[in-house]
Chains A and B, each alone.
Chain A
């Protein structure tokens, strides 16, 4: 026994054995003597040792089972939440919650969590991680990994009594009994470890600092691309060519006879803002073109028919082949410019502003050019349709030279007006329209203010939506819708950005805006009148103050102007 450690607390007593059999015998003896806090150390797993030591069956399987069940639930809840509630997304046409699709992840997480349960549960039950064990202070304990077996009785055991235990162990055929003392090596972490860790942590900050510096400074050298493909995608944009397909077109036309998901535009009135039935009575070819433009499948299927109205075009300049032309212009824009053809899109100031009803329609190409365009195969227009339902496929409300608009616009909003629709319209209006038209629709949005400030010469001020010309009596709902869709004068079309539904909601909101300017307080529900009155008082006060300040300033300016 080691004399110099006697001042330390005894942790337990250990005995050494030379064979499994003697260890098992001794274990049973100690167990039968009533000791509970005992342990054995062996170089290899020994069958029956748990029974000999009186170790109760472990609860670890239950922890693993619980882990597995938690894993299953986690996976299912996670997937249902992500895929079905938070971000509902149709995949492969399956329902949002489709269990078979969730099974693989549920299976994997069950296995993972069960493994975690088993692994970390084992740690917890064994009191791990632990950096030292008093057993290691015993000089002969190293042989436990070689050819010796040790039995250990902990001092915390109720029956522990040093002399008694040593006597009992002495009867079990051991040649070595030793007290195990508390490990008295310093618990302080060695300096070199502290320094090493400190240096490592300091070094690890460097990348973060570099990134932070990059974020706030400018550099003249081009950025480097870690994932080249992500910055320069091989995907093709519109109107580009490719060698992959025989016809060289990167954008593929729809397969003949098919309709893309969400493109089944059946309600033409709703899509165009025009009463198509009335239009077909007035002007059949135009109605047909409209129909074809909005349903590519119909277009692709009736190839021969499609040519008929198109052939009429040169004879009737007022009826442009709407579906075909802008696509043409887009595709062949450069070529046409070279040929000195008038391409309106490239020339911002067409001398047509005086005509209030006229669109941003380009000038008519020469009839000959039109003829060739019109006789192009129907594919052409299919391409146009593909590029969006904005200007490319839009009906022209009127044409250059035709001042009177005879289009049978819808006069009522096809949406059922509700608070929801209006707030949707307001939201969309504030996003897309308010920058120019102003949040109140008076035509003085931020873009306009800036344009006035810098005296932009090409700026065409947006209309005030409270203009008499745009009021509901004079400007039908359908036309308003069409203007939002296709644009007017300098205003671009928003058909490709705003959903049809939302465009109609904007129409409804614009009407509400217009009405708000000439509404009387009687229209406000009773319970909200008081609030409005209060608001009005505040606003009036501010306005009065402003007017006062303005007057004063004017007076001062006058004074200073007149003084010299």
Chain B
């Protein structure tokens, strides 16, 4: 409203710094995270089997990766559309996007599993695949032209290089602006955002084909990359809402992030909840309708036994409940409710990733030990990521303090 005009605080204002109480969590989170991750991974590996352990690891990895990539999409899209409203929360997205750096290192175990072969993680690394499954040898030979360790590694290096490059480029640009306030930096980032987005979309989609869809090597869905993008994008908005709320509750950005920004994040959460459903259902319906065995096997497997309940839980708790819950303007204009729905959907995003990856380990949920192992993996990796993000945040601040559109964002008001 125009009766109180917000002021831009100086870039070194304490409200722009990561609160001490949060910064102090960084090291414990990192250590605890690594511990939980290793314990969960080993528990899955030895208590169930190697493939289960690796799958649990991949679940945790994919969970963090989709959020990191979603954040990268978020940041680049804000530049692409020259968004004004989001400047006060964009740095949170930029920090989350930086997770791709440690994730590039954490990809190594997956790469090793591919080179070890024998179906340690991906069944296509198993030399006896055709004999064991009765799959057409000719079709398999053609598939192996794409799914082989050498080409897989090359592609992985390419994807990771693109992401790390984009993350550094956009993060460095933004943090450099904190010091110089140079408008040309914003112009440069905007100018590059179009090609960057195309590159990011293609690499994301293909990485999801390579790393997740190839768990079921005979199954294919061209929509698969979009599906994981939808989940990641949803989670990013949730994570930003939760991050904003936590930062504000610890004293940072109290005057900067207003109910209007939560309202917009809430709208995006609502919208992407439905977008996720739309994509998930489109993928399902085409396969269900055509009813071709090589396509239905993936969903059929997820309708058997315990997986059916997980599938149904996605329908009710990843779509209907949050869809109804975030529909109202009154909910979206209460920061605490937006943050709570954000937490909830971050959990559901894990269920989604779990549902995608774990059925391919062919061990069900792996019993109580298996569930604990899976949870330890994802909690461990998330904590590790959070710790690293916090340590980065303590160096750079939690808002793009001298962005030319900061004032516009501060004044942002819903009609």
> Which residues of A does B touch, CB under 8 Å?
20-21, 24, 45, 47-48, 61, 65, 92-94, 100-101, 103-104
With A and B bound together, what is the CA distance between A292 and B231 in angstroms? 58
Given contacts A47-B415, A48-B413, 14 further A-B contacts (CB under 8 A): A47-B2, A48-B2, A61-B328, A61-B329, A65-B327, A92-B290, A93-B291, A100-B281, A100-B284, A100-B285, A100-B288, A100-B289, A101-B285, A103-B281
When the two chains form the complex, which single residue of A47, A92, A93 contacts B1, counting CB atoms closer than 8 Å? Answer: A47
With A and B bound together, what is the CA distance between A103 and B288 in angstroms? 13
- Name the interface residues of B262-307: CB closer than 8 Å to any CB of A: 281, 284-285, 288-291
B291 near A48: Cβ-Cβ < 8 Å? no
With A and B bound together, what is the CA distance between A485 and B287 in angstroms? 43
Closest residue of A by beta carbon distance from B285: A100
The answer to whether A48 and B289 touch (CB under 8 A), given A100-B284, A103-B281, is no
B413 near A47: Cβ-Cβ < 8 Å? yes
A residues within 8 A CB of B284?
A: 100
A residues within 8 A CB of B415?
A: 45, 47
Task: Write 24 A-B pairs (CB below 8 A) sorted by A numbering.
Answer: A20-B2, A21-B2, A24-B3, A47-B1, A47-B2, A47-B415, A48-B2, A48-B413, A61-B328, A61-B329, A65-B327, A92-B290, A93-B291, A94-B289, A100-B281, A100-B284, A100-B285, A100-B288, A100-B289, A101-B285, A101-B289, A103-B281, A103-B285, A104-B285
With A and B bound together, what is the CA distance between A93 and B288 in angstroms? 11
With A and B bound together, what is the CA distance between A457 and B203 in angstroms? 84
With A and B bound together, what is the CA distance between A92 and B290 in angstroms? 8
B289 near A92: Cβ-Cβ < 8 Å? yes
Number of A-B contacts (CB under 8 A): 30
With A and B bound together, what is the CA distance between A539 and B355 in angstroms? 79
With A and B bound together, what is the CA distance between A324 and B112 in angstroms? 68
With A and B bound together, what is the CA distance between A93 and B327 in angstroms? 37
When the two chains form the complex, which single residue of B2, B291, B327 contacts A92, counting CB atoms closer than 8 Å? Answer: B291
With A and B bound together, what is the CA distance between A78 and B415 in angstroms? 38
With A and B bound together, what is the CA distance between A104 and B2 in angstroms? 44
Which 6 pairs between the two chains have the least Cβ-Cβ distance?
Answer: A48-B1, A47-B413, A100-B285, A100-B288, A45-B415, A47-B1
- In this complex, how many residues of chain B approach chain A with their Cβ under 8 Å: the count is 15
With A and B bound together, what is the CA distance between A244 and B242 in angstroms? 64
How many Å from the CB of A43 to the closest CB on chain B? 15
With A and B bound together, what is the CA distance between A242 and B86 in angstroms? 65
How many Å from the CB of A48 to the closest CB on chain B? 5
- Name the interface residues of B301-334: CB closer than 8 Å to any CB of A: 327-329
- Name the interface residues of B321-360: CB closer than 8 Å to any CB of A: 327-329
With A and B bound together, what is the CA distance between A100 and B284 in angstroms? 9
A residues within 8 A CB of B329?
A: 61
A residues within 8 A CB of B3?
A: 24
With A and B bound together, what is the CA distance between A65 and B285 in angstroms? 26
B residues within 8 A CB of A93?
A: 291
With A and B bound together, what is the CA distance between A21 and B1 in angstroms? 11
- Name the interface residues of B398-415: CB closer than 8 Å to any CB of A: 413, 415
B residues within 8 A CB of A48?
A: 1-2, 413
Closest residue of B by beta carbon distance from A93: B291
With A and B bound together, what is the CA distance between A48 and B328 in angstroms? 20
With A and B bound together, what is the CA distance between A103 and B281 in angstroms? 9
Closest residue of A by beta carbon distance from B289: A92
How many Å from the CB of A108 to the closest CB on chain B? 12
Closest residue of B by beta carbon distance from A25: B3
Closest residue of A by beta carbon distance from B327: A65
Closest residue of B by beta carbon distance from A91: B289
B residues within 8 A CB of A94?
A: 289
A residues within 8 A CB of B285?
A: 100-101, 103-104
B residues within 8 A CB of A100?
A: 281, 284-285, 288-289
B residues within 8 A CB of A24?
A: 2-3
A residues within 8 A CB of B289?
A: 92, 94, 100-101
How many Å from the CB of A115 to the closest CB on chain B? 15
B residues within 8 A CB of A65?
A: 327
How many Å from the CB of B15 to the closest CB on chain A? 25
With A and B bound together, what is the CA distance between A509 and B290 in angstroms? 45
Closest residue of B by beta carbon distance from A65: B327
How many Å from the CB of A458 to the closest CB on chain B? 55
Closest residue of B by beta carbon distance from A21: B2
With A and B bound together, what is the CA distance between A61 and B331 in angstroms? 14
How many Å from the CB of A89 to the closest CB on chain B? 15
How many Å from the CB of B1 to the closest CB on chain A? 5
With A and B bound together, what is the CA distance between A48 and B327 in angstroms? 22
How many Å from the CB of A83 to the closest CB on chain B? 14
With A and B bound together, what is the CA distance between A21 and B2 in angstroms? 8
How many Å from the CB of A114 to the closest CB on chain B? 11
How many Å from the CB of A62 to the closest CB on chain B? 10
With A and B bound together, what is the CA distance between A92 and B288 in angstroms? 10
A residues within 8 A CB of B281?
A: 100, 103
From B289, B291, B327, name the one whose CB has the most chain A CB atoms within 10 angstroms. B289
With A and B bound together, what is the CA distance between A365 and B281 in angstroms? 64
B residues within 8 A CB of A104?
A: 285
A residues within 8 A CB of B1?
A: 47-48
With A and B bound together, what is the CA distance between A400 and B413 in angstroms? 97
How many Å from the CB of B217 to the closest CB on chain A? 26
B residues within 8 A CB of A61?
A: 328-329
With A and B bound together, what is the CA distance between A47 and B284 in angstroms? 43
How many Å from the CB of B317 to the closest CB on chain A? 18
- Name the interface residues of B1-59: CB closer than 8 Å to any CB of A: 1-3
Per-position 1/0 for B220-240, Cβ under 8 A of A: 000000000000000000000
With A and B bound together, what is the CA distance between A65 and B3 in angstroms? 34
With A and B bound together, what is the CA distance between A521 and B329 in angstroms? 80
How many Å from the CB of A413 to the closest CB on chain B? 40
B residues within 8 A CB of A45?
A: 415
With A and B bound together, what is the CA distance between A47 and B3 in angstroms? 11
B residues within 8 A CB of A92?
A: 289-291
With A and B bound together, what is the CA distance between A92 and B413 in angstroms? 51
How many Å from the CB of B413 to the closest CB on chain A? 5
B residues within 8 A CB of A21?
A: 2
Closest residue of A by beta carbon distance from B290: A92
From A20, A47, A65, name the one whose CB has the most chain B CB atoms within 10 angstroms. A47
With A and B bound together, what is the CA distance between A103 and B282 in angstroms? 10
With A and B bound together, what is the CA distance between A104 and B284 in angstroms? 12
How many Å from the CB of B411 to the closest CB on chain A? 10
With A and B bound together, what is the CA distance between A104 and B282 in angstroms? 9
With A and B bound together, what is the CA distance between A198 and B258 in angstroms? 59
How many Å from the CB of A105 to the closest CB on chain B? 12
How many Å from the CB of B264 to the closest CB on chain A? 15
With A and B bound together, what is the CA distance between A94 and B289 in angstroms? 8
How many Å from the CB of B4 to the closest CB on chain A? 11
A residues within 8 A CB of B290?
A: 92
With A and B bound together, what is the CA distance between A65 and B324 in angstroms? 11
B residues within 8 A CB of A103?
A: 281, 285
B residues within 8 A CB of A47?
A: 1-2, 413, 415
With A and B bound together, what is the CA distance between A61 and B332 in angstroms? 14
Closest residue of B by beta carbon distance from A47: B413
How many Å from the CB of A288 to the closest CB on chain B? 36
How many Å from the CB of A189 to the closest CB on chain B? 38
How many Å from the CB of B358 to the closest CB on chain A? 24
With A and B bound together, what is the CA distance between A61 and B328 in angstroms? 9
A residues within 8 A CB of B291?
A: 92-93
With A and B bound together, what is the CA distance between A397 and B2 in angstroms? 99
With A and B bound together, what is the CA distance between A24 and B2 in angstroms? 10
With A and B bound together, what is the CA distance between A48 and B3 in angstroms? 10
With A and B bound together, what is the CA distance between A93 and B290 in angstroms? 10
How many Å from the CB of A504 to the closest CB on chain B? 35
A residues within 8 A CB of B327?
A: 65
How many Å from the CB of B258 to the closest CB on chain A? 13
How many Å from the CB of A268 to the closest CB on chain B? 32
Closest residue of B by beta carbon distance from A48: B1
With A and B bound together, what is the CA distance between A94 and B288 in angstroms? 10
How many Å from the CB of A231 to the closest CB on chain B? 33
With A and B bound together, what is the CA distance between A376 and B291 in angstroms? 39
Closest residue of A by beta carbon distance from B281: A103
